Amino acid sequence: MITAILVMVVLAVAVGLVLGWSAVRFKVEGNPLAEKIDAILPQTQCGQCGFPGCRPYAEAIAKGEADINQCPPGGEEGIKKLAELLGVEPKPLDEAHGAPKPKSVAFIDEQLCIGCTLCIQACPVDAISGAAKQMHTIIAAECTGCELCVAPCPVDCIAMVPIAEDLPHWKWKYPVIELKRVA
């Protein structure tokens, strides 16, 4: 009986020591959780989550100040990944933050643009090129489709164009086979 208790005590102490040591030894700098969350977020930087960009939202989730279902561009899949990372149940997207939309890019009607630079100031990823009083153009490859440039434009010359499926972007679909109902 005594031996058993002794063994348990010694074991507990040993394990405790190892754990304590590794906590000191492998301490990670910075906030790795926020980094990991940020890596999952789509980086659209649209602010629909209620934070000024993906990174602040990631930090808020890491601190437990925000829920995981506030990012519409990330969609259901993003929520699932976050839930997996954080070990919580996935939940449906919070409608208050908007609904997922097909991915789009902004398009400036160059006939109407007055070169006011307001959209440049709004774009979170500097995807608009142009100088004051010059016509502005959107660099489609860099535009995240956040729509933040649409509202500031005083002449409403920016439209969001959904990305159409073409050959280079075509994907094989999930096979629609009659798997005689495979569970």
Separation of alpha carbons 59 and 136, rounded Å? 34
Task: Answer whether 61's CB lies under 8 Å from 68's CB.
Answer: yes
Q: Pick one of 34, 37, 40, 48: the residue that binds ligand SF4 (CB under 6 A).
A: 48
Nearest to 71 by CA among 101, 48, 92: 48
> Using CB under 8 A, which residues numbered 65 to 94 contact other proteins?
none
Separation of alpha carbons 77 and 173, rounded Å? 17
Separation of alpha carbons 127 and 119, rounded Å? 10
Which residue, chain included where needed, has tokens 């969001």? 160
Binding segment toward other proteins, per CB under 8 A, in 7-15, 24-32, 41-49, 60-68: 41-49
Q: Provide the minimum distance between the beta carbon of 32 and other proteins in the complex, in angstroms, as a whole number.
A: 16
Binding segment toward other proteins, per CB under 8 A, in 5-13, 22-30, 81-89, 148-156: 148-156
> Using CB under 6 A, which residues numbered 146 to 175 contact ligand SF4?
146-149
Q: Pick one of 29, 89, 95, 166: the residue that binds other proteins (CB under 8 A).
A: 166
Separation of alpha carbons 183 and 155, rounded Å? 54
Q: Pick one of 127, 128, 136, 138: the residue that binds other proteins (CB under 8 A).
A: 127
| Residue 21 one-letter amino acid | W
Q: Provide the minimum distance between the beta carbon of 54 and ligand SF4 in the complex, in angstroms, as a whole number.
A: 3
Nearest to 35 by CA among 51, 52, 59, 18: 59
Quick count: other Cβ atoms within 10 Å of Cβ 58? 25
Separation of alpha carbons 7 and 5, rounded Å? 5
- Interface with other proteins includes 45 (CB under 8 A)? yes
**Binding footprint of ligand SF4 on the chain (CB under 6 A):** 41-42, 44-49, 51, 53-54, 57, 71-74, 106, 122-123, 125, 127-128, 138, 143-149
**Binding footprint of other proteins on the chain (CB under 8 A):** 38, 41-45, 47-48, 50-55, 112, 114-116, 124-127, 133, 142, 144, 148, 151, 154-156, 165-167, 170-175, 177-183
